[in-house]
């Protein structure tokens, strides 16, 4: 109850007059006290500025006078009631202390200075007292004004911190110019990382800048609100003003400390702590944001990737709940959103989008990839349920979403956007759900190795949803040379799966960039892992991440392809691993593979062209509107990360449409001629005689591109897809396509099928340990010219590691033959790698035999285990070749070869409920069985494939696997 309500008007008037008088006296006393201190300090300084010194009595009088003036000034502070406001009292106190400190410093200077004319130090000290006294005139008159001074100071601190960080960013050099230095050895971090920001650092800086700007906006808004509506008429209002001042004084140091933590080397712990401090102090309009990560990620089929970070697929909406501290007024104060990715976001290139609720945002006329937000019908005035949709053509990557309301902007959150094969508007849309589950969601798969007649499955763990895989894949994109050259353009181009798949193809190998894997096909594998030891992609990708993006040693084609498949599936691009048996490597791009042999059967010299036992690449599913608008080249695209040949100056390959390869359209991009040759080149074997002359001994149009295989959909069976790449071997369609591919003239009828002197087309041997899905279509519809004799190899028994290999060389004289033939036969046995790059002679035999007219001749060949055991530790295959010459007709020469891939000993894997650990493995004797028991702890539920890799002193990398159904952990 106030005095005004209990007193008549005549009583309140004198009381008010009294209050005004007291305030005037207070102000006069304060002003006079300050003037007195200034005057007395001046007298003291002048008295001791030159001889003679004042007498002791005069000095005591001067001291007493200045002491009285100082005590009077101090009384002004103590006299000021606390009810007038803490902020006001603090500023009066600070001003009083500044005067006292100035006087004390002046006295100390006089005591320490010799008697002389007025010294510069004494002048400075006297001026300091004057300056401190002058500040009193500028002190606020009430607590509202005092709080506004505080807020202005804090705005200045925050603004300075923001500008300093922005200036440092604009001055910073390329953060990878040092980290990505090929010349530095060792596996540790680079020496001068302390002076540069990494891309990871920059990804942290951007949201921190947003928080700092939100803090500045918050303090400015507080200042405007106090200036417009601040009230100090009651003690409660005065206290509220003081609270606002205290909040601002907590925000600005937090922002300043946050800025300091951002400088390289970035203090991640400090960033986290100071971010929490600032967030705790900002009086949010936005009370709470819920991204519903588990629910949204489940709907977007990304919950396997993360349960606590929003990961969505473009073209598909997700839900957000936004809690406001004030009622939502869409007509006057719409919500304004900004979604951005990369360090240089722009509407015109699709890396930034402005949108709102309602959507009244003024966007650029060239804006691309526009996001949208909608308010769901069920909402209250302060709890908003929103639906946000990234467009189907948005660049994939890590996004920051800012939200603004009533002149306050804050970070709504961060999320990851991936491709969406479930969205019909996305270029990677795959219509079949079973195929989407297989080629996007399946974390385990089967690769195929061996040769055309010896196909062996290899279980592989793609692990695309393992921990930190998003970080790994985003880093892989950020480290590609195109991003380092033009990050803005590169991030924008990530809307296009054609571009991204080509980048990934280049970055999986490290031949000309800082990619994931270093290849090696021969020599020592010291310092790394033998390629055949790998059983999954995640171990490789994780090592690359933890090893500061240095290449992992070592990989070969199936490893490169499998790792790329993991990355593509994580990004959301349907992908499968494909093996081409008898795969050609056409270096001179003439669609012909020339191989040279000496007259004793082994290769005369290394040749640029070669035919690999098998080669592994990937197929990715996407549209190709860059090639044709009618979709004729949409679908599976060949991509090959193995560094074989350069494409546009970079070691990558594809995407090459499989449909274009089938039609022989070798003029299309990317790298269609190279892939066409891999599956359909003609082979010519030449005999190099002692005099250097060359004779054609074998022309084969059917050898290359056999049993092109991939894992079946929803099954562990092998699916042969050769018919996707070429027509039936020897058919008129296949020959016409080959002619067109060579000449690019679809009307040409000049192509002539050459007569072939070759071994018979053998029946294909079924895969070892796996079922076939489709029948082999390697039939011939054009009958070859019957040669004077045919030769071929035939097995006596299935070749197995650890056993002797027995086979026959069968020579057949046609029934209509009338003359016997005396033959010179050279049989050579070599160990080779699967890509035919390295060979070592194991055995050679030359003999003379007579082939009777119309009869068969069988020559036994025995390869002892002792002959090959050491060679197969470094090689994969035994190549047996035979050169046969007719001694009566030396121009008639015949050639046959066969690659033998030894079958591994069987190994079974069984999972028990309560396994014990036993890692000791005793020496194995022949024809014995050994059981080894291991303990392991699964960390993911669902059907998983457990793989075991076994090696010993005789052979390497025997693998086994079994399917395990891991049940979810029971709730505690």
CA distance 599 to 660: 40
For 371, half-sphere exposure in the C-beta direction (CA atoms, 13 angstrom radius) is 32
The answer to whether the Cα torsion of 152, 158, 161, 162 is positive or negative is negative
Cα separations in angstroms, 875 against 554, 555, 882: 15, 15, 20
SS3 label, residue 883: strand
Active site residue 24: no
**Cβ atoms of 341 and 349 closer than 8 Å:** no
Which residues, 6+ apart, have CB-to-CB distance to 6 below 8 Å? none
Cα separations in angstroms, 357 against 256, 329, 400, 819: 33, 10, 18, 94
Element spanning 698, H or E: strand 694-700
Percent helix, strand and coil across the chain, each to the nearest 5: 35, 25, 40
CA distance 536 to 552: 13
Q: ∠ CA(419), CA(421), CA(424), 5° rounding?
A: 110
**Cβ atoms of 732 and 781 closer than 8 Å:** yes
Query: Which one, of 623, 566, 567, lies nearest residue 392 by Cα?
Result: 623
Active site residue 640: yes
The residue annotated as part of the active site, out of 133, 495, 557, 683, is 557
Cα separations in angstroms, 387 against 371, 378, 525, 629, 943: 11, 12, 53, 33, 34
Which residues, 6+ apart, have CB-to-CB distance to 460 below 8 Å? 444, 445, 446, 447, 535, 536, 537, 562, 577
Q: How many residues does the chain have?
A: 972
CA distance 278 to 247: 10
CA distance 249 to 437: 55
CA distance 559 to 579: 12
Active site residue 557: yes
CA distance 450 to 911: 28
Chain centroid to Cα 458, Å, comes to 26
Chain centroid to Cα 867, Å, comes to 47
Query: Which one, of 261, 244, 273, 259, lies nearest residue 212 by Cα?
Result: 259
CA distance 910 to 960: 10
The residue annotated as part of the active site, out of 490, 599, 640, 700, is 640
The residue annotated as part of the active site, out of 300, 483, 597, 615, is 615
- Which residues are the active-site residues? 557, 615, 640
């Amino acid at each position: 109850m106030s005095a005004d309500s209990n007193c008549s008007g005549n009583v309140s008037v004198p009381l008010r007059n009294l209050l005004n008088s007291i305030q005037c006296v207070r102000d006069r006393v304060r002003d006079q006290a300050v003037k007195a201190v200034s005057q007395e300090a001046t007298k003291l300084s002048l008295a001791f500025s030159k001889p003679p010194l004042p007498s002791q009595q005069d000095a005591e009088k001067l001291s007493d006078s200045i002491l009285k003036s100082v005590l009077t000034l101090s009384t002004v502070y103590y006299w000021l009631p606390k009810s007038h406001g803490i902020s006001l009292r603090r500023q009066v106190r600070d001003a009083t202390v500044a005067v006292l400190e100035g006087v004390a410093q002046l006295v100390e200077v006089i005591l320490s200075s010799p008697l002389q004319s007025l010294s510069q130090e004494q002048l400075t000290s006297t001026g300091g007292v004057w300056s401190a006294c002058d500040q009193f005139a500028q002190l606020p008159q009430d607590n509202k004004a005092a709080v506004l001074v505080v807020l202005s100071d804090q705005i200045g601190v925050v603004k300075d911190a923001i500008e300093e960080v922005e200036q440092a960013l604009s001055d910073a050099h390329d953060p990878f110019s040092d980290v990505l230095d090929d010349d530095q050895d060792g596996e540790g971090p680079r020496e001068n990382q302390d002076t540069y920001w990494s891309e990871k650092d920059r990804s942290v800086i951007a949201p921190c800048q947003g928080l700092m700007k939100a803090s500045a906006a918050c303090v400015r808004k507080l200042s405007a609100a106090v200036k417009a509506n601040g009230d100090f008429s009651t003690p409660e209002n005065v206290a509220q003003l003081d609270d606002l001042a205290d909040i601002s004084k907590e925000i600005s140091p937090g922002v300043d400390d946050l800025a300091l933590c951002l400088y390289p080397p970035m203090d991640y712990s400090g960033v986290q702590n100071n971010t929490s401090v600032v967030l705790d102090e900002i009086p949010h309009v936005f009370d709470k944001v819920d991204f519903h990560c588990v629910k949204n990620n489940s709907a977007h089929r990304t919950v396997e990737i993360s349960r606590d970070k929003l990961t969505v697929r473009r073209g598909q909406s997700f839900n957000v709940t936004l809690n406001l501290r004030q009622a939502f007024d869409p007509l006057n104060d719409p919500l304004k959103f900004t979604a951005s990715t990369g360090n240089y976001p722009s509407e015109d290139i699709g890396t930034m989008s402005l949108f709102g609720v309602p959507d009244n945002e003024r966007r650029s006329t060239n804006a691309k990839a526009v996001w949208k937000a909608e308010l769901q019908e069920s909402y209250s005035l302060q709890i908003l349920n929103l639906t946000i949709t990234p467009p189907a053509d948005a660049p994939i990557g890590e996004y920051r979403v800012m939200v603004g309301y009533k002149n306050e902007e804050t970070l709504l959150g961060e999320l990851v956007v991936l491709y969406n094969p479930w969205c019909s508007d996305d270029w990677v849309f795959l219509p079949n759900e079973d195929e989407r589950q297989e080629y996007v969601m399946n974390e385990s798969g089967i690769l195929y190795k061996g040769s055309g007649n010896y196909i062996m499955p290899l279980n592989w763990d793609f692990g695309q949803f393992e921990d930190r895989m998003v970080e790994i894949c985003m880093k892989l994109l950020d480290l590609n040379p195109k991003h380092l050259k033009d990050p803005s353009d590169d991030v924008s181009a990530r809307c296009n799966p054609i571009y991204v798949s080509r980048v990934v193809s280049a970055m999986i190998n490290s031949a000309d960039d800082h990619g994931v894997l270093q290849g090696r096909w021969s020599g020592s594998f010291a310092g790394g892992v033998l390629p055949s030891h790998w059983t999954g992609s995640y171990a490789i990708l994780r090592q690359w991440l933890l090893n500061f993006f240095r290449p992992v040693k070592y990989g070969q084609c199936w490893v490169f392809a499998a790792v790329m498949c993991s990355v593509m599936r994580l990004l959301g691009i349907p992908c499968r691993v494909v093996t081409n048996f008898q795969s050609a490597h056409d270096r001179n791009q003439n669609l012909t593979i020339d191989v040279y042999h000496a007259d004793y059967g082994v290769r005369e010299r290394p040749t640029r062209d070669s035919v690999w036992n098998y080669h592994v690449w990937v197929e990715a599913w996407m549209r190709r509107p860059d090639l044709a608008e009618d979709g004729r080249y949409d679908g599976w695209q060949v991509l090959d990360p193995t560094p074989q040949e350069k494409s546009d100056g970079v070691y990558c390959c594809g995407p090459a449409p499989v449909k274009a390869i089938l039609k022989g359209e070798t003029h299309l991009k990317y790298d269609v001629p190279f892939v066409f040759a891999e599956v359909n080149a003609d082979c010519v074997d030449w005999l190099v005689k002692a005099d250097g002359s060359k004779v054609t001994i074998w022309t084969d149009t059917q050898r290359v591109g056999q049993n092109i295989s991939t894992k079946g959909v929803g099954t562990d069976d092998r699916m042969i897809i050769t018919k996707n790449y070429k027509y039936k071997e020897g058919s008129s369609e296949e020959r016409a396509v080959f002619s067109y591919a060579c000449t690019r003239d679809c009307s040409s009828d000049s192509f002539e099928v050459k007569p072939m002197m070759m071994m018979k087309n053998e029946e294909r041997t079924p895969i070892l340990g796996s079922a076939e899905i489709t029948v082999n279509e390697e039939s011939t519809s054009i009958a070859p010219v019957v040669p004077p004799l045919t030769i071929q190899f035939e097995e006596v028994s299935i070749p197995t590691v650890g056993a002797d290999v027995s086979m026959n060389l069968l020579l057949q004289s046609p029934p209509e033959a009338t003359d016997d033939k005396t033959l010179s036969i050279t049989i050579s046995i070599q160990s080779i790698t699967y890509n035919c790059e390295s060979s070592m002679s194991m055995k050679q035999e030359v003999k003379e035999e007579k082939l009777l007219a119309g009869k068969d001749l069988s020559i036994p060949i025995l390869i002892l285990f002792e002959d090959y055991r050491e060679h197969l530790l470094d090689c994969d295959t035994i190549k047996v070749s035979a050169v046969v010459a007719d001694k009566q007709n030396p121009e008639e020469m015949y050639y046959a070869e066969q690659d033998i891939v030894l079958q591994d000993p069987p190994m079974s894997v069984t999972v028990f409920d309560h396994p014990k650990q036993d890692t000791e493995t005793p020496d194995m004797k022949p024809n014995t069985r050994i059981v080894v028991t291991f303990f392991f702890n699964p960390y993911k539920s669902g059907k998983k494939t457990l793989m075991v890799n076994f090696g010993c002193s005789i052979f390497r990398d025997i693998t086994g696997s079994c399917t395990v159904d891991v049940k979810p952990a029971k709730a505690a």
